[in-house]
Amino acid sequence: MSLQGEQFRDVVLRRAKEVARTTDALLAAAGGPSTTTMTTLRRGDFRPRNDSMVKFDQALRWEPGSAWRVWNGGRPTPLPSGGRGRRGTAAAGSVVEFVLTGHQGVRVVVKGPIKERAALEDSVARLVQDLDDS
């Protein structure tokens, strides 16, 4: 792994902890890169692409362009708490609401960018099932 890649990985992982997105799945669910991309990053084979860097900015709550700055040895600019960045808007379709099938008492409302509603519903269903089983 290159020094550049190591530094980028370390900054990304540190920030993920700061914003409570401590698993690759949580990062992806927040509009970040896929779990496959994160595995590649951890393994040291990551090659940045613009779409991935935009996703890092989104999920890590950085101003647009921050991931590229980090890749190039600079520092990211975190968004202010509760802020949406310079653009001032959330991603289209930013609110998802559903009642969990088989658990009529569970109503889920998610605010923020959601890439795949079905994947979100499956994740919540697994979480609720794990809670029921314990």
Distance between CA atoms of residues 75 and 78, nearest Å: 9
pLDDT tens column, 58-80: 999 999 999 999 999 999 999 88
Last residue of a domain, one of 56, 71, 86: 71
How many domains is the chain built from?
Answer: 2
Q: Is the pLDDT of residue 91 over 70?
A: no
Distance between CA atoms of residues 118 and 113, nearest Å: 14
**pTM (two decimals):** 0.61
DSSP H helices, the chain, are 3-18, 24-29, 35-43, 50-59, 66-71, 117-133
82 belongs to a structural domain: no
Instruction: Give the tokens for residue 25.
Output: 């799945």
Cβ–Cβ under 8 Å, residues 45 and 61:
no
Q: How confident is the model at residue 92, as a pLDDT?
A: 43
Work out the average pLDDT over 23-42: 91
Range of the domain at 103: 95-133
Residue 49: which CATH number?
Answer: 1.10.260
Last residue of a domain, one of 39, 71, 103: 71
Q: Are residues 7 and 63 in the same domain?
A: yes
Highest mean pLDDT among 3-7, 84-88, 115-119: 3-7
Q: How confident is the model at residue 90, as a pLDDT?
A: 37
Distance between CA atoms of residues 60 and 72, nearest Å: 17
Higher pLDDT pick, 53 / 83: 53
Q: How confident is the model at residue 118, as a pLDDT?
A: 64
Q: Are residues 105 and 57 in the same domain?
A: no
Q: Are residues 102 and 54 in the same domain?
A: no
Q: Is the pLDDT of residue 54 over 70?
A: yes
87 confidence band (pLDDT: 50, 70, 90): very low
106 belongs to a structural domain: yes
